[in-house]
Amino acid sequence: MNSPHKVALLIESSNAYARGIMHGIAAFMRERQPWSIHLSESNRGEPSLDWLAQWKVDGVIARIENKAIARVIKRLCVPTVDISAARLMPSLPWVETDDASIAKIAAEHLLERGFKHFGYCGDDRFNWSIWRQKRFEELIRIAGHSCSVCCVSARRLVNEDDEIENISKWIAGLPKPAGIMACYDYRGRQVLNACRRLGIAAPDEVAVIGVDNDDLLCDLSDPPLSSVIPNTYRTGYEAAELLARMMAGERVKAEAYLIEPLGVATRQSTDVLAIEDRNIAFAVRFIREHACEGINVKDVLEAVPQSRRLLEQRFKKLIGRTPHEEIIRVQLNHVKLLLAESDLSLEQIAERVGFAHVEYLSTVFHREVGLPPSRYRALNRPKPAGFKPAP
């Protein structure tokens, strides 16, 4: 009987994003092949690598965050998959979140709430923050608005209080109400702390969305922080699948494999509608609260008494969609999450999101998303052939 491969995980365990990746790796091992794992307890970019010289590894999955880690990986000369956005070793296959898609989801989430003023609060030490910023700015500009940017780098500041002070000065100068994307949840919590320091009401004057859906950080924020949900489970699973192929002798191209996010976990920090038309604001909230109960436009008109023509005209002007399109959009967002995160059948999903017939759900999903539900599930669940290299 062959001994299991020895695999080193150079992944910090101090945040929810990294732990989600490790859950995906563990799932691959349960389903496909057991490995002997060595995991070094560490923070971002600060692993102790002395043990690697003694522990002869067959493969590595690493967040190659600095040159010291890159030098060690080069000396090892074993199959390695990089899962860091730093991209310090372009010769390796690279599995990472799709930062452009993350920015798109965050921008859409804030635009849907009717904001006209926007900001991005990032950290210029990290590529993923810079990439998210550029795409967020671009999407806000395409929507006809401007975006103010605040990049807070710990390299130039002494402590967190200094960071929050800098963010506070930036927020004080923003036109209100404003929707802000924070590069990740920790920064989002800082933005909310800055609002509290200034006496600015969140989400009424400033709405904030983070990234990573770190439950602990989001719940400790005041108010609780909305966050984009990365598919970390699939990221880890796909990285493990690539490494297994490499350790089996297969040649894997040094390409980028980008994993799309799952959606938004909406919490109180964006639970607001910056829409002056109170009837339309109420209609939007009604749809978002009841869309998965199988409502239609007639139900919306009963909740917001006015003519259908006027409702649809005002809705289209302020939201950019008709009430029917908004109902479908909310339903399909729930469908996507259930396809990616559950084993429910399509019939069960249709019932949960308010579609009377599974055939109609399949037709609408294919039309709006561009692929059938089964294909979407295959692409967003951790399956060996479930994704393709990014162009």
Within this chain, domains 99-229+264-270 and 278-376 share the same CATH topology: no
Q: Give the whole-angstrom CA distance, residue 252 versus residue 320.
A: 44
CATH code of the region 99-229+264-270: 3.40.50.2300
What's the pLDDT score for residue 390?
40
Q: What is the Cα gyration radius of the chain?
A: 23
What's the pLDDT score for residue 323?
94
Q: Give the whole-angstrom CA distance, residue 202 versus residue 177.
A: 10
Q: Residue 216, class by beta-carbon neighbours within 10 Å (0-12 exposed, 13-18 middle, 19+ buried)?
A: exposed
Q: Which fold has domain 278-376?
A: Arc Repressor Mutant, subunit A (1.10.10)
Domain boundaries, the chain: 5-96+232-260, 99-229+264-270, 278-376
40 with 48: CB under 8 angstroms?
A: yes
What's the pLDDT score for residue 211?
98
188 with 222: CB under 8 angstroms?
A: no
Residues of the chain with pLDDT under 50: 45, 383-391
pTM of the complete model: 0.83
**Buried (b) or exposed (e) across 334-356, using 16+ Cβ within 10 A?**
bbbbbbbeeeeebeebbbebbbe
Nearest to 80 by CA among 62, 53, 54, 63: 62
What's the pLDDT score for residue 41?
58
Pick 5-96+232-260's CATH classification: 3.40.1370.10, 3.40.50.2300, 3.40.50.2000, 3.40.50.740: 3.40.50.2300
335 with 344: CB under 8 angstroms?
A: no
Q: Which two tokens stand for residue 47?
A: 């692993």
How far separated are the first and last CA of the chain, in Å rounded? 40
What's the pLDDT score for residue 319?
83
| pLDDT 10s digits, 46-87 | 555 666 667 788 999 999 988 988 988 898 889 999 999 999
What's the pLDDT score for residue 111?
94
User: Which residues pair with residue 256 across a beta bridge?
Assistant: 94
What's the pLDDT score for residue 172?
97
